[in-house]
Amino acid sequence: MAVVDFERAPFLVIWEVTRACALACVHCRADAVARRDPRELTTEEGFRLVDQVCSFGAPPPLLVLTGGDPMWRKDLAELVGYATAAGLTVALTPSGTAMVTRKRLEELKAAGLSRVAVSLDGPDPESHDAFRRVKGSYANTLKIIESVIDLGLPLQVNSTVSRRTLPRLREMAARVGEFPLTLWAVFFLVQTGRGASLEQITAAECEQVLGFLDDLSRRVPFGIKTTEAPHYRRLQSEREQAGAPRGPVLGRRQLRAPRAVNDGNGFVFVDHVGNVCPSGFLPMARGNVREGRLVETYRDDLVFRQLRDPDALGGRCGRCEFRASCGGSRSRAFAATGDPFAEDPLCAYEPGREIRPVAAGAPPAPARSAPLSSRPT
């Protein structure tokens, strides 16, 4: 794989093609609603966005079409086809609703779609539907998974870690392991949008979850990645330095970043009206693709440049030996303090401490949480 210089180009471009969605998920950063915004980028503007993504040069970034629910756009196959023909690899994150039919997936595959990522936030219908706040979402998600597998498209499952989902994490790992997955993407809550009302786990619990995921990655045939928890890399480095006995990572790694991707650093987000932000969880608009300046914004904007500078970080992240390879979640720092360069409060690491093996095994059994299915929604 060619090396990507994150100063010049992101590894991932995420485009929120719409904010419309029929679900009302408790953690939704987008505060998605069941109607489209008339200000969304048009099909033609979408094509021009794809042209700008291509302007980053080779190797081209991966393009992820997200929402809201991207299935609300009737021109989705056209957008996928245009991007694929331009040389981009395109992935899709549809919501778990009946809008995702086998026929539409077939059209998208024919247009060149490379991967489908669905969200599963509970190991059974009760827990998942309570999180998504729509009955039947679990059943719809399983139908989508079935079609994706049947069509031979690579499958990714996204799951959220929060106080609410933590008690079922081990069951979730077993459930996703029943599918022929390419990647399990585990998202660590950022308290923004509707997610602001969800309770966060503690930094100590996060450390145990990261240890659990690292152990799991050596036993399962799929890749595991964390989103908004770059300290996963720090934990893996610590374990290596401590000489803890570890097997090889078994999971397939297609479409994986060559090194840690962080907000604005290997990663750029374009919202539904074209605003260019370092992440969907870090809503600092630094430009707009309607001005045709996606590449310049990513490369030259002051905030983007500072987000790629480990010496711009504050607090523990600023003093940390791992700041270049980790850097902490900038989105979480912003959500917690209003300062995107503050320390990541979900990291338990104390810079300069003696490197020692990190306790691992099972995710923690939280004392305060009842099972999700018994909690009010």
- Out of 328, 340, 345, 364, the only residue in the binding site for ligand SF4 (CB under 6 A) is 328
Q: Supply the minimum distance, in Å, between the C-beta of residue 344 and ligand SF4.
A: 4
Q: Supply the minimum distance, in Å, between the C-beta of residue 18 and ligand SF4.
A: 33
Asked if 349 touches ligand SF4 (CB under 6 A), the answer is yes
Distance CA 376, CA 130 (A): 8
Residues 231-290 close enough to bind ligand SF4 by CB under 6 A: 231, 234
Q: Supply the minimum distance, in Å, between the C-beta of residue 202 and ligand SF4.
A: 14
Q: Which residues contact 7 (CB under 8 A, 6 or more apart)?
A: 299, 308
**Span of 100-108, 146-154, 324-332, 362-370 interacting with ligand SF4 by CB under 6 A:** 324-332
Q: Is 38 left (phi over 0), alpha (psi -120 to 50) or beta?
A: alpha
Residues 289-318 close enough to bind ligand SF4 by CB under 6 A: 316-317
Distance CA 290, CA 46 (A): 10
Supply the angle between the helices 102-111 and 76-85 in degrees, to the nearest 10: 20
Q: Supply the minimum distance, in Å, between the C-beta of residue 357 and ligand SF4.
A: 16
* Binding-site string for ligand SF4 from residue 187 to residue 226, where x marks contact by CB under 6 A and - marks none: ----------------------------------------
Give the strand pairing for 267-270 and 276-277: antiparallel
- For ligand SF4 (CB under 6 A), the number of binding residues is 14
Q: Supply the minimum distance, in Å, between the C-beta of residue 343 and ligand SF4.
A: 6
Q: Supply the minimum distance, in Å, between the C-beta of residue 316 and ligand SF4.
A: 4
Asked if 60 touches ligand SF4 (CB under 6 A), the answer is no
Q: Which residues contact 5 (CB under 8 A, 6 or more apart)?
A: none
Strand order in the sheet with 223-227: 223-227, 183-188, 155-161, 115-119, 90-92, 62-66, 12-16, 267-270, 276-277
Asked if 330 touches ligand SF4 (CB under 6 A), the answer is no
Asked if 332 touches ligand SF4 (CB under 6 A), the answer is no
Distance CA 250, CA 127 (A): 29
**Span of 72-80, 147-155, 290-298, 321-329 interacting with ligand SF4 by CB under 6 A:** 321-329
As given in the structure block, the two tokens for residue 365 are 């059994």
- Out of 131, 188, 222, 322, the only residue in the binding site for ligand SF4 (CB under 6 A) is 322
347: Cα separation from own chain's centroid: 18
Nearer to ligand SF4, 163 or 323 (CB): 323
As given in the structure block, the two tokens for residue 21 are 């969605």
Nearer to ligand SF4, 170 or 233 (CB): 233
**Span of 31-39, 322-330, 334-342, 365-373 interacting with ligand SF4 by CB under 6 A:** 322-330
Q: Supply the minimum distance, in Å, between the C-beta of residue 295 and ligand SF4.
A: 28
Asked if 326 touches ligand SF4 (CB under 6 A), the answer is yes
C-beta atoms surrounding 198 within 10 Å: 18
Among residues 54, 76, 72, 69, the alpha carbon closest in space to that of 10 is found at 54
Torsion of CA 45, 157, 218, 279, to 10 degrees: 40
Q: What is the contact surface with ligand SF4 in residues (CB under 6 A)?
A: 231, 234, 316-317, 320, 322-323, 326-328, 343-344, 347, 349
